[in-house]
Structure 1
Amino acid sequence: MARLGWYLARLRAMSPAEIGHRLAEAGRKRRWRRRPVGWDAAPPGAEGPLPGFPDLRAGLAAAADVPAVRESLERVRQRRLRFLGRDWPPAFLEVPGEASGFWLHDPVTGGRWPGAEASSFRVDVRSTSDAPGPDGTLGDVKYVWEPSRLQLLHPLAAALAAGEAWAGPAAAGLLRSWAEANPPYGGVHWVSGIELAMRLVSVALLAAAAGPEGLEPADRALVRQVAAAHAHHLAAFPSLHSSANNHRVAEGLGLLVAGLLLPERGASWEGEGRAILEAEAERQILPDGVGAEQSPTYQAFTMEMLALAALLARGAGRPLAAGIGDRLARGAAFLLALMDEAGHVPAIGDDDEGRVLAQPPDREPRYVASVTAAVAGLTGRPDLLPPDRDLHLRDAVFGTRGARRPAALPEGLRVFPEGGYSAARERVAGRSVHVVLDHGPLGYLALAAHGHADALALWLGIDGQPVLIDAGTYLYHSGRARRTALRESPAHNTLSIAGASQSVASAGFSWSSRADAALTAQEPGRFWSVTGAHAGYARRFGARHVRRLSRTPEGLAIADRLEGAPRPLPVEVRFLLHPDLAVAQRDGEVMVAGADGPLCRFVPPSGFGTALLRNGEPGAVHSARFGHLAPAQAVVLTGRLAAEPALTRIVVLPDR
């Protein structure tokens, strides 16, 4: 039933043109299912020297002594392999003939995903579970896909480029192991184009680190076989229409990489990849710099793909269009506006912890900051460097190791009208206050696949301590009811009428109704204000939610009203607070304190009741990492509301 629901939700989002495309694609898949599973014979000359990537090789060599890269290498040597918070059995990589046990292992249920025995077009990746069970279902497919991105090769490539002799055989052995267990086009690892594209990046890093003749002839032939098989699949099954989100950028990167690895065969792949990347950069990073998918981490992922493509194309002497650099710079400027002085951004929308350049186990808490640094290095713009970040392999590749921001992040209000965000950085009561308001669309294209129903939501930090946080993602295909709950508006820092969601989820990556907010007014100055509105409740309740956020001498004020409401309606104004904070009610107000003392107090609207939710109660949980749920705290203000505004004040308390 879950699978049927998914298909029905997708069908509702499709245009007639997309339905025609899907029918043609289904016919193509039927034909491919009849192909024998296995690697094509290596063509004549496949064992010859590989293309050189001298700039990339130099960057990888410079990463070899980055502490996090050394830690990653040590884990690889010791076979302590962990992905998305789950451990993998290392023995499978050490026993001849058991490689598939590693690459197809499901860490949630202990089961095994389909491999070469099944056509990839028959593998069901949606009927999954978030816990072991007797029904034979497997865990979220993201887990099994993660190691098969072959990002274990990234730190090995750094060591190999730096001349560490042991790393070459280790890296080539991993590639051979994966290829043995996963011939084209069978099993779970040939289902998704974005997975194929990330794998091609890993193979390119190995080739760059080894140099033209650094691998054994048979391994050079395997690199070519892997690249060709992946490119054929990417070219045959493009993500178009409602699916043309970050997956399309990944496919462009994958085809470009394949074309660079196979110059004697891949000129058309390189050209197709370049065309995709140049077009999608304009579509997926809006003119004001906001990522169209309404998720800062997905925006960073898209920007990292574009930045790496630009770096590779420039190194090959065939640079991408200059417009890509411009969009990357605008995107970095927007992400900096979302960033606090510690380099953190709000966890808006989906986040699956995907990375283009990685050093497993790699759950970077400041990934967005690292990508903005990469863009600063690529474009030669030190003003785009973040205020802080974690040193990463990415810094060495993009030439920003040791680079520091020349000045503090600017204070004041920034409004991004096309993407739909306002962000302000202010000094209040001697403290640094950072606030973000969402007044934009639900997400990108008809599916809005990675957006959440967070119209007019707020995120707040004080002195680098997150105060108002996002509920997060949890899981994708296996999250089911929990994923829906974390996506809909009662889980966010906004207003809901009678417990309803502005946008209603119909499946894990689609919606049956959507609320797209818009900026309706803004007032500049020291005591600025921004106003946004959405009509997500209009059909059900006859009202339009309008929220005005303003700077006050003591902090912030939030004025909510229901424009056009036929009568006062029951509403909840929710605020999800970081679990590390101390929260208490006092004289009708809510006091919030951090480790060093009081931070702020919430003053509810006149006539509203106040409730505190704690310890994982419904509405008081969050997912800080993929696959992980933890208790949070929530302040819930309840009352009745119509056209007269209800004013909530956030008073920032002085630092003692």
Structure 2
Amino acid sequence: MVHFETAPARRRGRGGRIGARLSRLRWYAGRLRAMSAAEVLHRLEEARRKRAWRRRPVGWGDGGERAQAPLPDFPGLRRRLALAADLPAVRESLARTREGRLRFLGRDWPPAAFADPRESAGFWLHDPVTGGRWPGREVSSFLVDVRSTSHQPGPEGTLGDVKYVWEPSRLQVLHPLAAAVAAGEDGALDAGLRLVRAWMDANPPYGGVHWVSGIELAMRLVSVLFLAAAAGPEGVAPDDRARLRAFVGAHAHHLAAFPSLHSSANNHRVAEGLGLLVAGLLMPEAGSGWEAEGRAILEAEALRQILPDGVGAEQSPTYHGFTVEMLALAALLAREAGRPLSGALHERLERGAAFLLALMDETGRVPAIGDDDEGRVLGQPPDREPRYAASVAAAVAGLSGRRDLLPPVRDPHLRDAVFAVPEGAALPPEGLTVFRAGGYTAIRERIAGRRVHAVFDHGPLGYLTLAAHGHADALALWLALDGQPVLIDAGTFLYHSGQGRRTALRESLAHNTLAVSGASQSVAAAGFSWTSRAQASLLAEAPGPDWSVTGVHDGYLRRFGVRHERRLARSPAGLALADRLDGASPLLPVEIRFLLPPDLALSRQDGGVVVSDASGALCRIRPPSGFGTTLVRGEDAVHSTAFGHLAPAQRIVFFGMLGADEAVTEFAILS
């Protein structure tokens, strides 16, 4: 029997309803601030269409005139899936699925008997954190509120973050099952089809929580494609072929009818393009132009969401990895169908992978910059993939045939087989790499015998008017020494139910940057929008042995009349971080903050803070002249190590008065 955690019920009754309304109002206010007049008109028309769709009967179609005909063939994907069947992580995922030990985002689900739809229906609507039950077929998906869940009572208990209930319904347990099907394992196809039938019986279109978000629909289409590809054109019985076509058609119609446009046209739009491409490949007889529409979306969005220098426009390495993975899978499927996507898309994919490599330390990990909801296109639950970015870069290396895009370290994954990733590893060359369009500088070199990897942010807050997944981390610094993270990011924690903690982890006081008078550069509104937004840019760069890079942002201009400039430079002993406030008169109180992992030891020595690991002292961080020092632990210094999880951290705070003259923080790297 699998045990799952149940959190205490949150506020209910009249107070809970008032809280839910206030949360919704804050969300709508944040969205309205980000909307243009054209978007307001689009939203009004979208609302009209949603009202019309609410009158549709809840149920599946018949799959079309050729519903029982053989499915399209995907021989290349089938061969590569078969190669994945013997991977240890795939075997572990298969074993857990067959035994009913299902775990997603670090939470256990109760066992489900997928052969009996009545028993399995509750599985798909179960909230593993609160024990509540999300709305199902009895409620139109257009009436399901997924945003104000920290106050929202469900049919059977208070609801938590919608990410948890959505994760199993991406059906990514089908990916390891598809590998077993392709390898000819007895019972694997029947198990996969039972799971699809159970999901369809419990979640007919267009009712309940699982028809709210297009990105969820797209990920389900990918999962069904994997199962169909593994089985082959006639491997699935005629009745089940008809059922799969009904599944695909309902999902594709919804994706086509409710596109994510304007301020919502971020990674969700890429997912919708992938979903429509997959639907068109699975049902070419539909004649609806799904493949063509999907291709057009993907080719346009690749050039928007991967900037010319390879940086992800969302300003989050893991969201960038997710976008790159979606585009890479689309490119692979289109190529195998004989209709490859554009060369421009492939070029952006390769640049996007190169950017991930630049952010990566020698252990294959990237800083937790911006949001991370652990979304994956190819999955093998319950793997949370701490080296996800490395695996995605390797996938692009396999797709493109470029071994120089291989990461230094990666964890074996089903993704390796699907993209035919070659053996080997690579590490970007030492030196300074400036990403001018995206706003990052990566430094990789040896100092005092140690391998130093640093990332400096001088780019925008996020993508489009919402900047939904960016954090207020302008001019922040991340640092690793010999693969040991030293300056880290606070991470994400939760989305819709994170409330005050989500706000705190998004704003500047949680990041390795400077704060004026305890204020954040950019001020968060709702969970995915901002009341004010700092604009950051690159001021100057100087390559060579005595390199330096200077950025500036205006987040404090309106409130304090100053711009924050920060220069990161090579110094004789290591690194120097010079801060100044352009326009400050008189001087202003500031804090220079650094977040460090809990396993490092901090001690005050020689007017600074010495940072040590188990092997000894790593570096000494010395504050600017005249600044005081505070070491913070406990509730005021935490970080999110995974979605939904908070862990202790520690913070160094240097405090003092600052004006137009530089205040220099010195990082001496110790041998």
Global fold match (TM > 0.5): yes
State the AA in 2 paired with 1:7.
Y
Shift of 1:94: 5.9
Show structure 1 runs of 5+ residues with no match.
none
1:428 paired with 2:447, answer yes
Once residues 649 and 80 of structure 1 are traced to their aligned partners in structure 2, the CA distance between those partners, rounded to angstroms, is: 50
1:631 corresponding residue in structure 2: 648
SS of residue paired to 1:332: helix
- Which deviations, in whole Å up to 9, do the C-alpha atoms of 1:99-156 show, x marking residues without a partner? 2110000111111101110100000101212999999430100000000000010000
Of residues 34, 47, 51 in structure 2, which corresponds to 1:26? 47
1:462 paired with 2:484, answer no
Once residues 155 and 670 of structure 2 are traced to their aligned partners in structure 1, the CA distance between those partners, rounded to angstroms, is: 53
2:619 corresponding residue in structure 1: 600
Shift of 1:598: 1.0
1:124 corresponding residue in structure 2: 145
1:520 corresponding residue in structure 2: 539
1:371 corresponding residue in structure 2: 392
Deviates more, 1:11-20 or 1:88-97: 88-97
1:552 corresponding residue in structure 2: 571
Once residues 593 and 178 of structure 2 are traced to their aligned partners in structure 1, the CA distance between those partners, rounded to angstroms, is: 47
Shift of 1:543: 0.6
Once residues 259 and 223 of structure 1 are traced to their aligned partners in structure 2, the CA distance between those partners, rounded to angstroms, is: 13
Cα separation, partners in 2 of 1:370 and 1:268, compared to 1, 3 Å:
same
Once residues 131 and 644 of structure 1 are traced to their aligned partners in structure 2, the CA distance between those partners, rounded to angstroms, is: 51
Of residues 194, 206, 211 in structure 1, which corresponds to 2:215? 194
Shift of 1:42: 3.4
Once residues 396 and 410 of structure 1 are traced to their aligned partners in structure 2, the CA distance between those partners, rounded to angstroms, is: 27
1:617 corresponding residue in structure 2: 635
1:276 paired with 2:310, answer no
Of residues 567, 578, 586 in structure 2, which corresponds to 1:567? 586
Once residues 377 and 462 of structure 1 are traced to their aligned partners in structure 2, the CA distance between those partners, rounded to angstroms, is: 29
SS of residue paired to 1:442: coil
Aligned ranges 1:337-352 → 2 under 5 Å: 337-352=358-373
Once residues 447 and 215 of structure 1 are traced to their aligned partners in structure 2, the CA distance between those partners, rounded to angstroms, is: 44
Once residues 52 and 415 of structure 1 are traced to their aligned partners in structure 2, the CA distance between those partners, rounded to angstroms, is: 44
2:340 corresponding residue in structure 1: 319
Contact 2:78–2:229 (8 Å) recurs in 1:
yes
Shift of 1:251: 0.2
Contact 2:131–2:157 (8 Å) recurs in 1:
no
Shift of 1:47: 1.3
Of residues 654, 657, 664 in structure 2, which corresponds to 1:640? 657
1:43 corresponding residue in structure 2: 64
Contact 1:115–1:182 (8 Å) recurs in 2:
yes
- Which deviations, in whole Å up to 9, do the C-alpha atoms of 1:465-515 show, x marking residues without a partner? 011000000000000100000000000000000110000000000001000
Contact 1:349–1:472 (8 Å) recurs in 2:
yes
After TM superposition, the score normalised by the length of structure 2 is 0.95
1:480 paired with 2:499, answer yes
Aligned ranges 1:146-545 → 2 under 5 Å: 146-266=167-287, 268-400=289-421, 402-405=422-425, 407-545=426-564
Percentage of pairs with the same residue: 73
Shift of 1:438: 0.2
- Which deviations, in whole Å up to 9, do the C-alpha atoms of 1:328-373 show, x marking residues without a partner? 0111111111011111110100000000000000200000000000
Once residues 112 and 291 of structure 2 are traced to their aligned partners in structure 1, the CA distance between those partners, rounded to angstroms, is: 39
Contact 1:489–1:501 (8 Å) recurs in 2:
yes
Deviates more, 1:70-79 or 1:94-103: 94-103
Shift of 1:561: 0.4
2:23 corresponding residue in structure 1: 2
Cα separation, partners in 2 of 1:418 and 1:66, compared to 1, 3 Å:
same
SS of residue paired to 2:631: strand
Once residues 259 and 160 of structure 1 are traced to their aligned partners in structure 2, the CA distance between those partners, rounded to angstroms, is: 23
SS of residue paired to 2:304: helix
Contact 2:134–2:154 (8 Å) recurs in 1:
no
Shift of 1:45: 2.5
Once residues 345 and 36 of structure 1 are traced to their aligned partners in structure 2, the CA distance between those partners, rounded to angstroms, is: 47
CA RMSD, 1 decimal: 1.4
State the AA in 2 paired with 1:612.
L
SS of residue paired to 1:299: helix
- Which deviations, in whole Å up to 9, do the C-alpha atoms of 1:527-580 show, x marking residues without a partner? 100000000000100110000000112110000000001211000000000111
Once residues 134 and 322 of structure 1 are traced to their aligned partners in structure 2, the CA distance between those partners, rounded to angstroms, is: 50
Shift of 1:276: 0.2
SS of residue paired to 2:485: strand
Contact 1:260–1:266 (8 Å) recurs in 2:
no
Contact 2:112–2:120 (8 Å) recurs in 1:
no
Contact 1:440–1:519 (8 Å) recurs in 2:
yes
Shift of 1:228: 0.3
Shift of 1:408: 3.7
After TM superposition, the score normalised by the length of structure 1 is 0.98
SS of residue paired to 2:200: helix
Contact 1:108–1:130 (8 Å) recurs in 2:
no
Once residues 383 and 73 of structure 1 are traced to their aligned partners in structure 2, the CA distance between those partners, rounded to angstroms, is: 33
Once residues 33 and 133 of structure 1 are traced to their aligned partners in structure 2, the CA distance between those partners, rounded to angstroms, is: 20
SS of residue paired to 1:632: strand
Deviates more, 1:56-65 or 1:178-187: 56-65
Shift of 1:12: 0.8
